Amino acid sequence: MDAHFAPAGPPAGDLRAPPDKSISHRAALLGAFGEGDTRISRYLDSADTRSTLAAVESLGAGVTAQPDGPGSLEVVVTGFGLRGAAAPGRPIDVGNAGTLIRLLTGLLAGQEGRSFVLDGDASIRSRPMGRIAEPLRQMGASVETADRGVPPLAISGRRLRAIHYELPVASAQVKSCLLLAGLLADGRTTVREPAETRDHSERMLRAAGADVRIERERPSLPTDPVAGTIGISPAAAIALPAMTVPGDLSSAAFHLVAGLIVPGGDVRLTGVGINPTRVGLLGILNRMGADLEVVEAGSEGGEPVGTLRARGCDLQATQVGAADVAMAIDELPLVGLLGCFADGTTTVTGAAELRHKESDRIAGVVDALNALGGEARALSDGFAVTGTGGLRGGEMDSRGDHRLAMLGAVAGLASREGVTVRGFGAARVSYPGFESDLRSLLG
């Protein structure tokens, strides 16, 4: 599905941010491996998160889902217990959901005496799984990949032993996979991350009754990443209480950027999750001189939420390094788009992880911006974008990547001639209502 986005005046108005994808995945998984019923309000209704519901149902969880407003579901998951997953007898299809395949592998690795296969679409079959398979094998797990270390994954549940593992690259998905496996291991499992990553798993595991402890290290310089070690003890059982999923900052960010780069823009997003480990983009925007307001407004699902307001303004280039990357990994493509409208050259480094997302996002961002009249070049671990006063427009390829598809839509509103996004349907992976929400801001 292709879509065209033309300049149509400044975006303005209020939107409620769609539910958080990362938290929705985790809530369904912990509910399924927990005891009793878990009620999840404002569960994201998207292709990725429906894959998670289907996966836990195939393992024996009870799942009911009813509409809960635009783009969200009221979900009740009846758990089968921490060690009670049933072998479905057929591959579990994770679709395009990288979070699902990595986190679920950690939980299935300790289901003794049962075997599972996890598979997905063409994008999933290109994503590296050695980063979870290797440490899980150190724990005694049997996890086999296809050639080149990619899915499908064949998992034979075994008794696991605790390990201490140092992540070579900061990754919330790998960290979470090992912590979830640690629930089923003999002894206390510890994971050291070289930079702080999103802590939704830790928060939710604690809420479910798990013994999780975090020790942060003091960085040598204020600009250095904050490393830390997270430990988890084995549990006999967990039970996630009822929760409401907060709004997704990563999805809200597209509307915020539209408000900033289109002259006269004035966009307000409500109910946005502003977990301190997810707000890297907001710090980057402040360094660029963005006209941005953040007002905290309580909490949802154990996460702080707030209202964000972005208005059209002049921007200055900035340098984004390793200290920023872990807390802004999903928003970095938008930093490239912002760079086209900023004065100077914006660089992103320390972000080699972008090459292993739904697509090679370094190549995808650079190719898209250049196709639309920008001036961008790829670096080994990021990209550099020189501001040209805006974008001409044209055609770009989403590469089947939801974040590149939505980037193209925002670029179209701010361009001179409009943008046609090839493969725009990829946006459904994380934000099915994105196009209608974006167009609602155009009056």
Would you name the residues annotated as active-site residues?
330
DSSP 8-state assignment for residue 424: G
Q: Amino acid identity of 337?
A: L
Helix, strand, or coil (residue 255): helix
Contact 137, 163 (CB under 8 A): no
User: Which bin fits 140, alpha (ψ -120 to 50), beta or left (φ > 0)?
Assistant: left
Please state, in angstroms and rounded to a whole number, the distance separating the CA atoms of residues 285 and 281. Answer: 6
DSSP 8-state assignment for residue 366: H
Q: Which residues pair with 78 in a beta bridge?
A: 37, 62
Q: Which residues of 177-201 are buried (b: 16+ CB within 10 A; e: fewer)?
A: bbbbbbbbbeeebbbbbbbbbbbbb
Question: Closest Cα partner for 432 from 44, 94, 43, 46?
Answer: 46
Handedness of CA 130, 28, 207, 85 (dihedral sign): negative
Pairing status of strand 62-67 against strand 72-78: antiparallel
In the block, tokens 């989403």 appear at 398
Euclidean distance between the first and final Cα of the chain, in Å? 24
Question: Closest Cα partner for 263 from 12, 4, 42?
Answer: 12
Listed in sequence order, the residues at least 6 apart from 389 whose beta carbon sits closer than 8 Å to its beta carbon are: 341
303-311 sheet: strands from edge to edge: 12-16, 266-273, 303-311, 291-300
Alpha-helical (H) ranges within 155-237 are 172-182, 200-207
Contact 45, 434 (CB under 8 A): no
Please state, in angstroms and rounded to a whole number, the distance separating the CA atoms of residues 403 and 434. Answer: 11
Residue 236 in tokens:
């006999």
Helix, strand, or coil (residue 347): strand
Segment 56-65 long-range contacts (CB within 8 Å, at least 24 positions apart): 56/28, 56/29, 56/31, 56/32, 58/88, 58/90, 58/92, 59/32, 59/85, 59/86, 59/88, 59/92, 60/84, 60/85, 60/86, 61/31, 61/32, 63/28
